[in-house]
Structures are given as structure tokens and as C-alpha cells.
Chains A and B, each alone.
Chain A
């Protein structure tokens, strides 16, 4: 047993027993078509227990699944200009926004939480794909800037979990400008010497991938997530190339050197706990009592022994 065991068993089960959906409800896995019992699916963090397919996870459940004991403080995000261009296509953007707000109960496509991960303070920003495809406009940019500033103020790591089709077209050029703006957010965290970790989930594409999502100190991808810049259909249309097997999936990105590891959702929290600990706790408190004469060597040995007992980052597991 190592120190990790104190933290790795979040009381998720208890927290997930909210009775919004009847327990006897069934879901069909979009991948293997197995019928899945709602309660079991919740317990499995929306991963199919038959084929391992990772379904999209509600941002609140995501936050609960990452923070210690599923507990965190929601961070209030600043109000930003809605519909700066007075955009309308076949529908008014303001109407689309309202619909998304009613559907999700959120003002925009990002949720920020602040709490403990492995006993250490951390700020986590999660995208809601259900809100206009998780698209990034001013509000999302502001959300990331708020999260970054909070991380700096708390001297805490910033973890961002994108799930986004890219820029919010209805905010035109101002959505494009969220690329440099969120890059500035990332730079603030990095300049403060704090870890910036990206958890790439399905899907992460377009201007989101081409800005803050590819600038992490560590890139963790969930299994099977679509991650890329250009849309597959655009590529097929422009280039008339057949797309290779598994194109733009997490495992493909790992193969091409774009992510550090591909993890199963159930291992995500443990991975984050371990990575944050390794990046921010260079010397473990339990080995600080080493005899002063041997301070250098025994410390590094002890660290190796300690981490070796933890499971390896699961790039190739399952």
C-alpha cells in the first residue's frame, strides 16, 4: 500500500445516487448496441461495461469524478457580451443561446470548479458539449481566463477538459480571438510555474485544439476521443484522400506524438492525482526525515521506489 490509496477511492457512488432518472432506465451503447442499465452506466462514468466505449459525460459529473470525494466549489464566471455581432442565420443567435441555456441550465459552454485533487488544491474547467457543441465564444474564453487567474491566485494547477467542435461561428471574429485570449490564460499559469494539464475528450476539434488544448504541460486523452484540427469531412472533401483507420482518435494522436497518454475514464482521476503530485511535490514529506548526511542520494532513491509502486500511466492498457 502506498500513499495513493488514501485518495484513490472517491465516494463517487454515493454522490451519483441522485434520483433524477429512474434506476430502471436502459440506455443503448452507441458502439456495441448493448443495453445498459442506467444506474450501472452512471457508476461506470458513462463508459460501456461491455465494449469500453466512452460516452460524453455531463460536466458536473466530470467535476465530481475528478475532485476528491466528488466535492468542489463552483466558480462564478463573469457575465460577457451576448451576441456581439447581432448574428442571425436561419435563426437568431440569441434564440439559439436561450435554447441552449434552457436545455443545459447553464449560461454557456464551460463550468469551472475549484477543490482538492489528491489533497492538493486545483482548478478544473470543463466544457459542456451539450451547449452548442461546446463551441468557444467570448463566454468560454472568459471562463478559461477566470479559471487561469484563480489557479494563479491559489497557486494551484489548472486542468482543462475540452469537449468542443471549435469556435462559436455566431460570434465571428471574436470567437477566433479566443484563440490568443485562451493562449494568454495558459501563459499566465505557466509563468506562475504551475502545471497546466489538458484532458482531451470527445470531441476536441478546430480552434479549441489549435489553441489552449494543445499547449498543455501534459496532454491526457480519453480513450477513443476524436481530436484534431480540420473536420474529417473537410479533409475528405478538399483532399479526396481516404482517411486512415482510427484517424484523429486518441490512440492515433498518441501514435503521432501529440498526446502523452491515452487513459480509460476510470483511471483519469488517479492519473491526475499522480501527475499533479509529481509535478508539484518534488520531495515527499515522509522522506524529509532522511539523515542529513545522505540527503541527496536516499531522497531520489526513495522517490523512485514510491512511484514505482504506483501503476504506470496507462498509455497502452486495456
Chain B
């Protein structure tokens, strides 16, 4: 079932009409096929118009759209022989972080990604994509593995943020994130991070201090959720839309700031309208990114990765 966002209401109404027409057996004078085609053209036009000028606040909604492909959809669509690996070897297995070995277009790779889940049961199982310290320690362990066997690391970022809880604090959430960032930066193998939905703060950068950072067109990447920012700076969570604008969390701005390297165009109407196409498009971009780094030795990789992050913030938005 398609979920519609608030701003998609006119589109939803048109598509509702199309559905109705399709279920009509006796339409009298009108030609159903013609009517449907006409309405479909309208829908396409409206979708294109709407999605061409999404506000940052609307992008936040699209980035969190429940029907958007999630980490496991990309794993399923892009990784052959996926072999999930579990546990941080210290405390627990964190199902907010998917990890494992697999083959991506011929290359053996290590996959690390945040999974939000797609229904109540799976959301709870994956803790809504909010990792605890054990998730970030699992990520580090998998990066160790990648280094040892010289396998590229592909990370998929989709989290509102690291889990804020008493036990997460007790087990060193901050230390786990800090060490995970340091681990990314020390990798001797190429790392491609992809922001597929929500790139939420420290919880995201922990697995995104990568050689290449890719981002889906309507994904967001921010230091704080717009709601959190609004309640602090505007003292009202209702101002999240304003905060979303001010934070410059959309792919276009992040590209200009040099924080991300490549934007992956989404299908008209967003990734949720063509998950398979989106998965393939991201796969192509990841493959391209890996090719760019083929043949680079580990010292060069590390030096260039550092350089890239050190250059960030030298210029602002025009």
C-alpha cells in the first residue's frame, strides 16, 4: 500500500480516481483507458512539479518515507551471497546495524548499514535504526575484518541518530561513535558511504567518514534533527520546517559544501515510487566510486581521505 505524504494530497486524489476507474466495469459512454491515461499524465506532471521544488521540510518527510527502500532492500538488490555477521564480541548484537560479507558486482565487500525496519515488528527489532554502542563496535570490528582481507567497505546510512538511552550512555555511546569515526579514517581499504534516507548526526558520521560519500537526491544529512534544532533555537518543535531550511540539510547544499561527493537522482516522485530503480542507481554510483579508487595503495587512500575532511569548511555557501 502506498503511503502519501501531506503535500502529496492532490496526487493521492488523482491516483485514487485512477483506481476507481480501473475498477469500473460499466462506464457507460466514457472510454476508461483514455480517462486513465489522461489522469496518469496529470499525475506524472504533478509529481514532477512537486518533486522538482520540494522544500527542505518536505525532503525531511520524503527521506523518512516508510516505503522508501531501506538498508536491507539495498543489500538484497545489490549484494550477492550476503552473509550477515553478528555481534560486537563485547556485549551484544545490535540489529540496528546490519553487517556482513557479500559480493557487490564481482567484488567481495564488507557491508555496514543502518536498518530502520518497514513495519512495527521489524522497526522494533531494528530499534528504528538507532544504534547503541554495540552497533558502533560491531561496525569497527567489521572494518578490522575488511582491512585484514583487503575488502572495500560499503556503508549505508539511514538513522535519526544514535540511540539516546541510559544504558547506551553507560556502555559509552560517545566513545563508541568516536572510535568508529577514527576507525573509518584509519581504513587501508576504500570506503564508500551512502546516505540513503536520514543521515542523523553523530550516529551517521560514525559510519560515514569515508573516501566517497554518496547521497540520494531527497535524502537528508544533518548535525541535528530539524525538530531538535527547532525546539532549541526557536523553542518550538513546530518550527521544524524553518530549521530544515536553515540547517541546509539537503543534498544540493551538501554537495556545494563539499561534504558529499555525488548526488544520486531519484525517480520522479521519490525513491518510494521505484525502489528497484533507486537501488540499481545507487549500485551504479557505488561501482563508479570504487572504480575511481582502484589501484590506490593504502597510504594514498588514507592521506586523500584525511585531506578531503580537512578541506571541508574552507568555504561556505555562496
Contacts and interface: CB of A to CB of B under 8 A. Distances in A.
Interface of A: 80-81, 83-90, 138, 141, 145, 167, 169-181, 183-184, 186-187, 206-207, 209-215, 228-231, 234-235, 238-239, 241, 243-244, 247-248, 256-258
A230 B169 contact: yes
A187 B185 contact: yes
Nearest to B229: A169
A86 B247 CA distance: 10
Interface string B246-262: 11110001100101000
Which one of B165, B223, B253, B316 has the highest number of Cβ atoms from chain A below 10 Å of its Cβ?
B223
Contact of B202 (A171, A176, A184, A235): A176
Given A173-B247, A184-B185, A184-B310, 7 more contacts: A85-B317, A179-B177, A210-B174, A210-B175, A229-B164, A235-B169, A256-B170
A183 B166 contact: no
Interface string B27-41: 000000000000000
Contacts of A178: 313
Contacts of B243: 89
A87 B247 CA distance: 7
A214 B223 CA distance: 19
Which one of B206, B243, B248 has the highest number of Cβ atoms from chain A below 10 Å of its Cβ?
B248
A207 B243 CA distance: 19
B174 to A, nearest CB: 4
Contacts of B4: none
A86 B162 CA distance: 28
Contacts of A141: 313
A86 B312 contact: no
Nearest to B309: A180
27 contacts: A138-B313, A141-B313, A167-B223, A167-B224, A171-B313, A173-B248, A173-B254, A173-B257, A173-B259, A176-B202, A176-B204, A176-B222, A176-B223, A179-B178, A180-B209, A181-B313, A183-B182, A214-B174, A214-B175, A214-B178, A229-B169, A229-B177, A230-B168, A234-B164, A238-B165, A247-B169, A258-B172
Contact of A214 (B171, B172, B224, B257): B172
Contacts of A244: 166
Interface of B: 162, 164-166, 168-175, 177-179, 181-182, 184-186, 201-202, 204-206, 209, 221-224, 228-229, 232-234, 242-243, 246-249, 253-254, 257, 259, 306, 309-310, 312-317
Contacts of A248: 169
Contacts of A229: 162, 164, 168-169, 173-174, 177, 202
Nearest to B186: A187
B179 A213 contact: no
Contact of A215 (B179, B223, B228, B229): B179
A184 B174 contact: no
A173 B223 contact: yes
Which 8 residue pairs across A and B have the least CB separation, nearest first? A84-B316, A230-B164, A209-B174, A89-B233, A229-B174, A210-B177, A176-B223, A214-B175
Contact of B310 (A169, A174, A181): A181
Nearest to A178: B313
A173 B221 CA distance: 7
A215 B178 contact: yes
B98 to A, nearest CB: 21
Given A84-B315, A214-B175, A184 B306 contact: yes
A231 B228 CA distance: 11
Contacts of B171: 256
A215 B172 CA distance: 12
Interface of B, secondary structure class, is: helix
Contacts of B234: 89-90
Nearest to B182: A183
Contacts of B204: 176
B236 to A, nearest CB: 10
B185 A87 contact: no
A24 B240 CA distance: 48
Contacts of A173: 221-223, 247-249, 254, 257, 259
B253 to A, nearest CB: 8
Contacts of A231: 164
B172 A84 contact: no
Contacts of B205: 176-177, 179-180
A174 B224 CA distance: 12
A170 B222 CA distance: 11
Which one of A90, A173, A231 has the highest number of Cβ atoms from chain B below 10 Å of its Cβ?
A173
B307 to A, nearest CB: 10
A83 B253 CA distance: 14
A4 to B, nearest CB: 31
A239 B169 contact: no
B101 to A, nearest CB: 26
Contact of A241 (B165, B221, B259, B314): B165
A138 B259 CA distance: 13
A211 B178 contact: yes
A180 B181 contact: yes
A225 to B, nearest CB: 13
Contact of A181 (B172, B223, B233, B309): B309
